[in-house]
């Protein structure tokens, strides 16, 4: 079910703001020396950094709207990194997670990746490799949030359609002609053409092909165009 126009506008504005914000690399590691080393490396590359000594400390400060990525150590004093990863997954967090460990094994890496981690790196990680993976994670987060903001914006446009316009839009998106839509809805072709014009106007498209792409984007089935 699509949100109302007002709800979509509010959520969309918030999502768009998050996409344009400066990214932050969140580091969760209970080793102070490691935190300092990672901060120095990441800041030298021009990246914003926040470090946390425990999973609980990170969760207390965590804002799901903030863009970036999480560098997560597996072995933490209060809870292991996999448990923190599970908690973030439960909260439906979008934040990309790169797992770091000095005690990795196949079973652990498989569990981390299945739970949504985008990478699993063995310490010590070569600085060049770590920076490449972090930059890729941050860019992936930005793109994912931009796509989500786009879907919300489209949902706002959809919320302005009347029920009849929604019916016409669905048939247009399925490839039906105005004559076929008129027959299917028991309307005149002229009436269908009027609805078609309003659908194009409200959805901000100039053709049926563009409308199809917008509808697919709303459903998460195609990239923005």
Q: What is the pLDDT of residue 1?
A: 42
- Ranges assigned E (strand) in 80-212: 97-101, 119-122
Q: What is the pLDDT of residue 2?
A: 43
DSSP 8-class letter at 65: T
Residue with tokens 């998106």: 173
Domain 5-145 is found in CATH 3.30.930.10: no
Checking if the pLDDT of 44 tops 60, the result is yes
The whole-number average pLDDT for the span 26-42 is 95
**Which CATH number applies to 161-218?**
1.10.10.10
- Please tell me the pTM assigned to this model: 0.73
Where exactly are the structural domains of the chain?
5-145, 161-218
Burial of 106 (0-12, 13-18, 19+ CB in 10 A): exposed
Task: Classify strands 97-101 and 119-122 as parallel, antiparallel or unpaired.
Answer: parallel
Checking if the pLDDT of 9 tops 50, the result is no
Rounded Cα–Cα distance for residues 223 and 150 (Å): 10
Distances from the Cα of 31 to the Cαs of 45, 76, 123, 218, in angstroms? Answer: 22, 9, 13, 44
Q: What is the pLDDT of residue 106?
A: 64
Q: What is the pLDDT of residue 102?
A: 77
Q: Which residue has the higher pLDDT, 78 or 27?
A: 27
Three-class secondary structure of residue 143 per DSSP: helix
Q: Which residue has the higher pLDDT, 182 or 89?
A: 182
- Give the number of other Cβ atoms within 10 Å of residue 165's Cβ: 19
The whole-number average pLDDT for the span 162-166 is 95
Work out the mean pLDDT of the chain and round it to a whole number.
86
Confidence of residue 163 (pLDDT cuts 50, 70, 90): very high
The whole-number average pLDDT for the span 184-196 is 96
């Amino acid at each position: 079910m699509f949100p109302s126009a007002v709800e979509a506008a509010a959520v969309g504005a918030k999502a768009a703001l998050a996409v344009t914000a400066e990214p932050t690399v969140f580091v969760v590691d209970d080793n102070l020396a490691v935190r300092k080393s990672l901060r120095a490396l990441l800041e030298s590359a021009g990246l914003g950094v926040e470090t946390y000594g425990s999973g609980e400390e990170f969760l207390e400060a965590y804002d799901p709207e903030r863009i970036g990525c999480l560098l997560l150590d597996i072995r933490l004093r209060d809870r292991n990194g996999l448990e923190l990863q599970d908690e973030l997954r439960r909260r439906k967090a979008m934040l990309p997670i790169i797992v770091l460990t000095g005690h990795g094994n196949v079973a652990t890496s498989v569990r981390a990746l299945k739970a949504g981690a985008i990478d699993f790196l063995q310490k010590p990680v070569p600085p060049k490799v770590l920076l490449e993976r972090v930059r890729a994670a941050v860019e992936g987060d930005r793109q994912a949030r931009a796509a989500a903001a786009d879907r919300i914006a489209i949902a706002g446009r959809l919320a302005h359609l009347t029920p009849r316009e929604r019916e016409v839009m669905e048939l247009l998106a399925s490839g039906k002609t105005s004559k076929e839509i008129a027959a299917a809805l028991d309307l005149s072709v002229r009436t269908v053409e009027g609805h078609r014009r309003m659908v194009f106007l409200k959805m901000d498209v100039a053709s049926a092909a563009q409308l199809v792409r917008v509808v697919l984007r709303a459903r998460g089935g195609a990239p923005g165009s």
